[in-house]
Amino acid sequence: MTDMFYVYVVHSIADNGFYIGFTADLKRRVSEHKKGASFATSYRGPWRLIYYEAYTERLDAEGRERYLKSGAERRLLGSQLRRYLEKFGARSAT
């Protein structure tokens, strides 16, 4: 079985913010965000997984995470998630 690597976006219900991350275990990582066990997001929860991409190569996933965190791509991602943002009244992913 091939290992998979994930780039994901979680949405903070508390402050309408977003967090973009990378992991090899998406289910575990999202659970950590939801339980407040992640240092980077513990103070901003609760969290909801709203987007992810799967990769077979770790370097591809890490590169995509860096790219998504760049300013222009965060705006594009917000545009792509427009329907979710409209439904839940969240601000854009910038």
Q: How confident is the model at residue 74 (pLDDT cuts 50, 70, 90)?
A: confident
- Using DSSP's 3-state secondary structure scheme, residue 86 falls into helix
Instruction: Give this prediction's pTM.
Output: 0.82
- Is residue 82 over pLDDT 80? no
Give me the amino acid identity at 66. R
CATH class as words, domain 5-88: alpha beta
Query: Which two three-digit tokens encode residue 64?
Result: 């995509």
9-62: pLDDT as tens digits: 999 888 888 899 999 999 999 999 999 898 888 888 899 999 999 999 999 999
Task: Delimit the domains of the chain by residue range.
Answer: 5-88
* C-beta of residue 85 within 8 angstroms of C-beta of residue 78: yes
Where is 10: in which H helix or E strand?
strand 5-12
Where is 50: in which H helix or E strand?
strand 47-55
